[in-house]
Structure formats: structure tokens, C-alpha cells
Amino acid sequence: MSMKNYLLTVMQMEELPNQHMLGLFQELVTRFTEVIQEKSADEPMS
């Protein structure tokens, strides 16, 4: 599971998740994927 999907799963743990909070969390996770740019496979790990 990708980190993005994993984080969204965490947010929906309840039977009745708050859709507005989930929307905010999705926006945050979108920013997450923009801010945390992962190295490509050919870049060396530090």
C-alpha cells in the first residue's frame, strides 16, 4: 500500500468517518506528496 493510501486508511478507521475532516486530510496528503519528493530509483540513498 502506498503511503498516501495508508494515511487515508488511518483517517477512515471509524465506521462513520467525518467526511469534511477526511477531505482536509486528503488535501494534506496531496501536499505531502508534493513536499516530500522521493528520490528516483537511480539516485543514491544518503
* Interface ranges with other proteins (CB under 8 A): 3, 6-7, 10-11, 13-14, 16-22, 24-25, 27-29, 31-32, 35-39, 43, 45-46
CB 22 to other proteins: min, Å? 8
25 neighbors 7 (Cβ within 8 angstroms): yes
What is the nearest approach in angstroms of other proteins to the Cβ of residue 13?
Answer: 7
Q: How far is the CB of 36 from other proteins (least distance, A)?
A: 6
Could you give the C-alpha distances from 25 to 30, 44, 45, in angstroms and in order? 9, 31, 29
Do 31 and 4 form a contact (C-beta atoms < 8 A)? no
